[in-house]
Structure 1
């Protein structure tokens, strides 16, 4: 077989010698590497004495946390105290390893109608009343047993999770304080807050109350304090959190009623939520339709909030916005930011249940 058939070509000898000659010239005349001088091991820095202006309060590793809608606790946390969701435990354990502890709120709209019962017909820790829906966001009334709170205690023992819960606020003439009683008894120091009402500025819009005003809410919050003070099964009277606004009222509307000053001894924290817009039209047919391209600029200018927009709320860009916005809150002396988990049908979940 000839070289031609193999596709080979013999290089002329002078050409090979020329290549070798160029290689020798390169190695003989290549530039020498000049190492930089090592950095100085001593330097001078003028330290400022006294307080630094413009610095926020000292933040903790648990600054970022989660808010879990009460109605989906058995989907996220576990079925009961004997069946905990391992993926959730792993996530909490990872966060504890990095931040020391984790703060989780169990509440939301479903806390307003939650009723603690001795047992449910099918033995579940939580059941929803699908026939009792009477609001535009299809929030389900629910009943639950002490297994929910016992499950939370088991999670705390394993992963150092601290909890916020909420007292039902839908009937302020007949307070259901069992969630506070059992919560304090079972969770102990792991219960760090009890919300008094969730989004009271949306009560009228959602059909919960007619014409609720900031003063009305303040008065009802006072009734809650009176009821808790009279309940010997609630030893800690200073765990309440309010006003938990959605944005229809401004915080100033509440402060002008004397809420923060009059209830200072009973408040563990002041809480607010951010709803500058929504995409309720996509799921409930109310409000204004929203699209990802339309809403994108609001995520770049710190104006969006708990907005439900597919391919935007669950995007990497939105995650960066969330971190940036939360750090703005940290700078403004907010002590905790909670990312809400609303179930599998929403787009804004910080993590997705996949089990």
Structure 2
């Protein structure tokens, strides 16, 4: 079996052990109007997560590039300017899930884990081995442990905190079943976790997240985040101004002292920070934090150095005040390599310091734009190209990993999200365009744990190009064409040569394709797709297609067609790139009135996947005022339902691996 193919017996034993401890109207900014379709007999939901806005693509350059030529070294030792090895044992792109929306993205509780989520993670780990997920964000800061169960069986619940928070969101209450749910996920799919510690009150640290996380997750808990975007604390009235990097370092000292005195926190050297936002206008730049001695002081306590950054923000629209950005005006930012150069250029000195300290450097939260992203952009094929290019350049710039943020029903940029209404069928999830970027990045590096990236100079911000080395040898090329030109005038032929000769007789090429950069539908990777809005179950559909391109061995050149727009991953070695659908998949085939149940072995019990939608009524994002409850309140809320019995002998199900 492959790395992700977990033997059934191992899953059964692990899950039985863990369950034993478990308690019982659309705005269109472009020139193409959004079409209204129907879902289950009703109008299409207008929540941002399912946005149908379509923008107008920029005009192609007047003098298009028609051909590109690159000659690279076969041996990594002869290539200059490469990245450090990608050696941290996981897919480059992982995911950052806001604490308040875990129930929309992973599962309702330890016995109601969403099969679509498991399928998506299985497809990543099929290619890369391990997926990294962080639970945190703004809502981690006021998260509180609830010693008991909630009436509706959920593991998290929002409560009014009664105090100002990063985005004035409700506090999140969570139960011990959260940790059992995460452990159950890791028993089925190789997922490892980062957990966020509340950092709102440094006079009384609440460490239950660390205590239970370490006790229940064990090695599947990578590290704990202490402080989320502390450079914004004063601006968001979480600290009295002036709040400086020196103040943050003092609070870290207090945290470490408290951890050292707590015998329930058994691992005392796996933290990440400083997780500053670098927002516009920049509050603290990384150097301001490093100048406090943060790295030298806490090096022995750190798993990694972390930052958080978005290209720009859409906070005016999200909060209903401030400047409103027209997405059409900034669409071109996401169709150019230049914006990535500007953004990541600020971190080159920081990644060098991380290497000197022997620490990974992680982009801990990112996506298209903060405060939810943009209508028409964040779910587009153009965004998928940009996020993929962004990841490639971060890897080239010696970032170890990056985590794409998920904010729930009321943001535009989700890599995936569950249906918003009382839908009972399994195939009505939505997979966002940026999930394809994460999937492809996993395939770029694979499982070798020794991938390196070299950026090649193409002469155009519309055609970024990379060579990827696996260990000591040239392995792949990553080719981009951002230009949108249906006439074919901007299609490119990319000529690839190996210094000293020796191109193979043929190469395999996988393409990420869609009709246009503004497209939100029919996005395919190597001929396969997860489906459009409300069509996904986390499985790739269609026939896998790695195109064979024959090379001119005598001329030492492989000529790769690259249409406008498109992305191509060219496999230069003899490795067969036949990975398509994950070998470990999770299927639901039986249905009840309220929910779908998993196909199980006759000796197993049955359970729902917990996604009837009955109790999920606009559970919302982390932006204030973005969700309106039936009573007129502007805070996301949970309706309560009947109690759920979690007694193993009565109602627990074990998810079955369906090969």
Please indicate the TM-score interval, normalised by the length of the shorter structure: 0.7 to 0.9
Residue matched to 1:216: 247
CA distance in 1, matches of 2:319, 2:84: 41
The offset of 1:50, in angstroms, is 5.2
Residue matched to 1:306: 369
- Once the two structures are superposed, the pairs formed by residues 47-126 of structure 1 within 5 Å of their partners are 53-59=80-86, 60-122=89-151, 123-126=153-156
Q: Aligned in 2, Cα 1:130/1:56: closer, same or farther, shift over 3 Å?
A: same
- Once the two structures are superposed, the pairs formed by residues 1-355 of structure 1 within 5 Å of their partners are 53-59=80-86, 60-122=89-151, 123-130=153-160, 132=162, 134-135=164-165, 137-211=167-241, 212-247=243-278, 248-299=283-334, 300=336, 301-302=339-340, 305-307=368-370, 308-354=373-419
Q: Aligned in 2, Cα 1:120/1:207: closer, same or farther, shift over 3 Å?
A: farther
CA distance in 2, matches of 1:49, 1:116: 50
CA distance in 1, matches of 2:138, 2:155: 19
> What secondary structure does 1:206 align onto?
coil
CA distance in 2, matches of 1:352, 1:120: 25
Q: Aligned in 2, Cα 1:264/1:135: closer, same or farther, shift over 3 Å?
A: closer
Q: Do 1:68 and 1:341's aligned partners in 2 also have CA atoms closer than 8 Å?
A: yes
Task: Give the paired residue count.
Answer: 311
Q: Aligned in 2, Cα 1:275/1:204: closer, same or farther, shift over 3 Å?
A: farther
> What secondary structure does 2:405 align onto?
strand
CA distance in 2, matches of 1:208, 1:215: 16
The answer to which of 290-299 and 315-324 deviates more is 290-299
The answer to which of 169-178 and 286-295 deviates more is 286-295
The offset of 1:306, in angstroms, is 2.5
CA distance in 1, matches of 2:166, 2:76: 56
CA distance in 2, matches of 1:53, 1:151: 46
User: Residues 172-221 of structure 1, C-alpha deviation per residue, up to 9 Å, x if partnerless?
Assistant: 01011111011011111110111010000111111111121111111111
Q: Aligned in 2, Cα 1:49/1:89: closer, same or farther, shift over 3 Å?
A: closer
Q: Aligned in 2, Cα 1:61/1:191: closer, same or farther, shift over 3 Å?
A: closer
Residue matched to 2:563: none
Residue matched to 1:28: none
The offset of 1:57, in angstroms, is 2.1
Q: Do 1:137 and 1:284's aligned partners in 2 also have CA atoms closer than 8 Å?
A: no
> What secondary structure does 2:188 align onto?
helix
Q: Do 2:138 and 2:167's aligned partners in 1 also have CA atoms closer than 8 Å?
A: no
Q: Which has the higher contact order (CA 8 A, sep 6+)?
A: 2
CA distance in 2, matches of 1:58, 1:71: 35
CA distance in 2, matches of 1:330, 1:46: 19
CA distance in 2, matches of 1:217, 1:287: 28
Q: Aligned in 2, Cα 1:94/1:173: closer, same or farther, shift over 3 Å?
A: same
Q: Do 2:166 and 2:233's aligned partners in 1 also have CA atoms closer than 8 Å?
A: no
The CA RMSD over aligned residues, in Å, is 2.1
Q: Do 1:279 and 1:287's aligned partners in 2 also have CA atoms closer than 8 Å?
A: no
The offset of 1:132, in angstroms, is 3.5
CA distance in 2, matches of 1:117, 1:131: 14
User: Residues 150-183 of structure 1, C-alpha deviation per residue, up to 9 Å, x if partnerless?
Assistant: 1000000000100011111001010111110110
Larger helix proportion of the pair: 1
Q: Aligned in 2, Cα 1:241/1:131: closer, same or farther, shift over 3 Å?
A: closer
Q: Aligned in 2, Cα 1:271/1:49: closer, same or farther, shift over 3 Å?
A: closer
Q: Do 1:96 and 1:160's aligned partners in 2 also have CA atoms closer than 8 Å?
A: yes
User: Residues 207-261 of structure 1, C-alpha deviation per residue, up to 9 Å, x if partnerless?
Assistant: 1111211111111111111111222212211110000011121100100000011
CA distance in 1, matches of 2:158, 2:402: 28
The offset of 1:76, in angstroms, is 1.0
Q: Do 2:210 and 2:265's aligned partners in 1 also have CA atoms closer than 8 Å?
A: yes
> Unpaired segments of 5 or more residues in structure 2?
1-71, 344-367, 420-428, 430-659
The answer to which of 264-273 and 48-57 deviates more is 48-57
CA distance in 1, matches of 2:256, 2:269: 9
Q: Do 1:65 and 1:103's aligned partners in 2 also have CA atoms closer than 8 Å?
A: yes
Q: Do 1:120 and 1:127's aligned partners in 2 also have CA atoms closer than 8 Å?
A: no
The offset of 1:284, in angstroms, is 0.9
The answer to which of 294-303 and 139-148 deviates more is 294-303
> Unpaired segments of 5 or more residues in structure 1?
1-44
The answer to which of 282-291 and 215-224 deviates more is 282-291
